[in-house]
Structure 1
Amino acid sequence: MRIVDVCAFYSPQGGGVKTYIEQKLQLGPQLGHEIVILAPGDKAGVVERGPGARIVTLPSPRFPLDRKYWYFDDEAALHLALDLLKPDFVEASSPWRSPSMVARWQSPVPRALVMHADPLSAYAYRWFEPMFSRELIDRRFETFWEHLRELGQSFDRVVCASRELKDRLEDGGVANTVLHPMGVEEGLFSKDRRDAQVRRRLLELCDLPESATLLIGVGRLSAEKRWPMVVDAVMAASHDHPIGLVILGDGNKRSRIVKGIFGNPHIRMLAPERDRVRFATILASADALIHGCEAETFCLAAAEARASGIPVIVPDRGGAADHAADGAGITYAAGNAEAAADAILRLIDGPPLPLDNVPPSETMRGHFAKLFADYAALADRRKAPA
C-alpha cells in the first residue's frame, strides 16, 4: 500500500513524533509499503528517504507558540496534494484542525486518525482538575468532545497507543477506537548497554559519589511535561538520600525550570543526546527514569527505559503508566510532587523490582507490522464488491 501520513506534528528539530516518523520511514518499506509523510513546512519540497519513503512539505505558517512547528492552513492545497499522491490509505496525526480537513477530502480511500496528542489531559485536565472534577471539565469541554466524536465517525480507525486513552475516548462516545501500542527501536535499547563509567561521570556532573542514586528525565521542556514538579519531588526525596537528576531535553520552558532548580548542584539539565547509541547507553546506565507528564499518548521515553532494564517512576495516568506494569516501575498520583517524592523513596528503600521477569517491550517493527496489517484489512474490505 501507499500510506500517506498527514502529519501536522512533524518537526525536523526532534521530538517523540519525529522519532516515530523516522522509524515509520525506515520500516514501512521493509514491510512492503510505500510511506509518504505529508507535513507543513516553510516551503514546498520533497525529501527522498530511500526507496519507498519520502517527506513532502506544503508551504504553511509557523505555529506561534512553538516556532519549531508549522500548521496546515490551506485545505484546498492539502486536498490537491492527496489527489496527486493517490494514497491507498491515509493517516491524520493530529486531533486539531487537520483531521477535519482530511475527513472532508472527497475520496473513498480509508483513513485513520492516530492520536499523537491528548489535548484534554495536556491542557483541560491539567489546568482545571485541581479545582473541578473531571466529569465537570468534560461537560465544559463538550464542544471538543463533539469534535472528537465527529472524527470517530469520519475515520475508519482512531488509533490509540495507550489503554487509558483508548478507554477514555471509547467511554466518551468516540467510535472506531483501537489500541495499537507503539514500540522501541529494534536492537538499540538493552540492559547490556549499562556502563559503570558513564554512570560515574553523570553522578560526578551532579557533584555526587557513586553511592548516590542516579535518576534521568527525558523529554521536551514544555509545561505539560511538569518538570518543575519532578524537580520538587527529587529535591524532597534528596533530604533522605543523595540523588542526582539529569534531564535531557530542550524547549521553551527551560529558563523556568532552571529557576526552580535554584542552583542545586545535584540537578543538571543537558541538551538532548542525538546519537542514539550514546543515548541508549546513558539510559541503561541510570538507576531509574522519572517522568512527570500524565498526558502522554504512549511515552516513548518510558518504553525505552523499560527496554533498557531500568525501572520507571511515572504518573498513574496516561501512556507512561503502561510501562510500569508487570513490576517494571512505580506509579504515583499524577500532578502530585509529594506523591512523586514518595515513589522515589519507595523505589530506593523498597525491595528490588522484578525487572528480570518483565516481558520484553514491543518493537517498532512489531508495532508497524500489526498496524499496517489492520490498515490493509480495511483497504481490502473497502475494495471488496458489495
Structure 2
Amino acid sequence: MHPLYPSPSSAPARPLRVALVTESFLPQVNGVTNSVCRVADHLRARGHEALILAPGTGPATYAGFPVVRLPSVPLPGYRTFAVGLPSRRLVMAALRAFAPDVVHLASPVLLGNAAVEVARPLALPTVAVYQTDLPGFAARHGVPGAEALWPLLRQIHAAVDRTLVPSSATRRALAGHGFPRLSLWQRGVDTERFHPRHRDEELRRRLAPDGEVLVGYIGRLSKDKRVDLLAHAARLRGARLVVVGDGPDRARLRRRIPSAVFTGQRTGTDLSRLYAALDVFVHTGADETFCQAIQEALASGVPVVAPAAGGPLDLVEHEGNGLLFDPASVRELRVALGRLIHNGALRRRMAAAARPAVESRTWEVVGDQLLDHYRSVIAPQQVEPRVPVRN
C-alpha cells in the first residue's frame, strides 16, 4: 500500500479475484482501454488475479491475465470501434468458471448490462466505472434519441453496488439524473513517462522550423472532440499547430486545417517526447468526464487551455496551470490561446505550476484506492476507501 494511505486493517489483505468487464479493449486505444490496462497492471503488481471480458478480436492475454473475447458489431459511422453485444450465456460461463470476488464494469452499456444481470443471481459484488459521456458522444455523432440513453444508463448503475466517477462535475451531473451510490475515483498519471525531461529540442525544430510556439492537441480525432475548432488556433500569428492521434475525422480535419502537422497515432517514447515538446496543450472536447490527455500534458510541464466543463474543471486551475474557456465561445478559445502564444512570461509561469498540480496522482495511489473500493463492496463493514487525491 502507498505510505500516504495506510491499510485500514492491520491484518494482511488476501489476494482478490477481479473480473474486468469492459466495453472497449486492445487493439482499440481510447480512455476506457487505457484505464482497464492500468487497472490490470496494478492488480498484477499487487499480486491479485484478474479475468478480462472484452468485445471484438484482439490479444488473448494482457499482463498475464486471460482475455475472453465476446461477440461485437462495428459502431455505425465509426467502424473501427467494436460494440460489445449482450452475450449473457458467455458472460455467465466465464464468471462461473473464474469465480471472482468482485466484478469491475468499465463504462458499462450493452455488455456491461449483461454482466450486471448475470452477477446479480450469482450474488457477486459489482463496481461500475462511469467514464464515457455516452449521451454527449451520441449527440455529437448525430445519433437520434441520444437523450434516451439516460434511462438505460441509470438502470445499469442503479443495479450495481457502487459507481465510481472521475470528476466532481460528473458526480453532480449523474446525481441530477438520479444515479445512486456515487463515489469519486480520479485517474492516475504515469509521472515518469510524462515528464518535462522528455523535451527534445531537435523534435521541436522539426515541428516548428521558424521557432513558432507549439500548440498541440493529443487525442481521438472524432466529431465529439470538436477538433475542427483548432482551425482558429492555426491562424494565430506565431503559432504552429500539432495534432496527434487518429480517428474517423482525420481526413476531414487535414482538409480543414492544412497548415497543421498531423502525426497520426503515437505511443510510448514518441508520445512522451511530443507532449514535452509542446509549449501549450489545447483540448476542445466539451463532454469529457475526466480528460486524461490534460493530466498527461500537465505532468509533462505544459500549460493547458480547455473548456470550462466536465472533467477539466478538476484539473485546470484557471490562471494557475492553464486557462479555461466557455465551451460555447470560439472567441474565448482564441483569446485564451492568444494570451499564451504571445506572452512568454505567462507561459513559463503556468508551465511551472503544471506538474506540481498532478505529480501526486500516480497510478499506484489511485490503484490502491480502487482496491479499497473493491473490498468495501465485498465486505462493507470492514473497510472504507482512501480519501481521493486532491490538489
Q: Same fold (TM over 0.5)?
A: yes
Partners of 1:3 and 1:88 within 8 A in 2: yes
Q: How does 1:161-310 map to 2 (within 5 A)?
A: 161-204=166-209, 209-210=210-211, 212-231=212-231, 233-236=232-235, 238=236, 241-261=237-257, 263-264=258-259, 267-274=260-267, 276-310=268-302
Q: How does 1:340-355 map to 2 (within 5 A)?
A: 340-350=333-343, 352=346, 353-355=349-351
Question: What is the alpha-carbon distance in structure 2 between the residues aligned to residue 379 and residue 180 of structure 1?
Answer: 17
Counterpart code for 1:189: F
Counterpart code for 1:290: V
Question: What is the alpha-carbon distance in structure 1 between the residues aligned to residue 350 and residue 337 of structure 2?
Answer: 17
Q: How does 1:65-144 map to 2 (within 5 A)?
A: 65-70=77-82, 71-105=84-118, 106-124=121-139, 143-144=148-149
Partners of 1:42 and 1:61 within 8 A in 2: no
Residue 48 of structure 1 deviates from its aligned partner by 5.2
Q: Deviations over 1:305-364 (max 9, x none)?
A: 000111011111122332212711111111432221111012234552344344333112
Residue 143 of structure 1 deviates from its aligned partner by 4.2
Q: Does 1:46 align with 2:65?
A: no
Question: What is the alpha-carbon distance in structure 1 between the residues aligned to residue 29 and residue 323 of structure 2?
Answer: 28
Which structure 2 residue ranges, 5 or more long, are not aligned? 1-15, 384-391
Question: What is the alpha-carbon distance in structure 2 between the residues aligned to residue 58 and residue 119 of structure 1?
Answer: 21
Q: How does 1:5-24 map to 2 (within 5 A)?
A: 5-24=20-39
| Structure-2 change in CA distance of 1:146 and 1:201 (3 Å) | same
Q: How many residues align?
A: 358
Query: Which position in structure 2 is the counterpart of 1:61?
Result: 73
Give the secondary structure class of the aligned counterpart of 2:180. Answer: coil
Question: What is the alpha-carbon distance in structure 2 between the residues aligned to residue 101 and residue 161 of structure 1?
Answer: 23
Which structure 1 residue ranges, 5 or more long, are not aligned? 129-139
Q: Structure 1 residue runs of 4+, over 6 Å off?
A: 125-128
Q: How does 1:25-44 map to 2 (within 5 A)?
A: 25-42=40-57
Deviates more, 1:276-285 or 1:217-226: 276-285
Q: Deviations over 1:105-163 (max 9, x none)?
A: 122111112112102333448979xxxxxxxxxxx876433323322321111111122
The Cα RMSD (Å) is 2.6
Partners of 1:112 and 1:159 within 8 A in 2: yes
| Structure-2 change in CA distance of 1:142 and 1:122 (3 Å) | closer
Question: What is the alpha-carbon distance in structure 2 between the residues aligned to residue 270 and residue 331 of structure 1?
Answer: 26
Question: What is the alpha-carbon distance in structure 2 between the residues aligned to residue 230 and residue 372 of structure 1?
Answer: 39
Question: What is the alpha-carbon distance in structure 2 between the residues aligned to residue 144 and residue 307 of structure 1?
Answer: 35
Give the secondary structure class of the aligned counterpart of 2:309. Answer: coil
Give the secondary structure class of the aligned counterpart of 2:55. Answer: strand
Residue 20 of structure 1 deviates from its aligned partner by 2.1
Question: What is the alpha-carbon distance in structure 1 between the residues aligned to residue 270 and residue 146 of structure 2?
Answer: 43
Question: What is the alpha-carbon distance in structure 1 between the residues aligned to residue 215 and residue 146 of structure 2?
Answer: 37
State the TM-score, normalizing by the size of structure 2: 0.84
Residue 288 of structure 1 deviates from its aligned partner by 1.1
Counterpart code for 1:344: L
Counterpart code for 2:283: H
Query: Which position in structure 1 is the counterpart of 2:3?
Result: none
State the TM-score, normalizing by the size of structure 1: 0.85
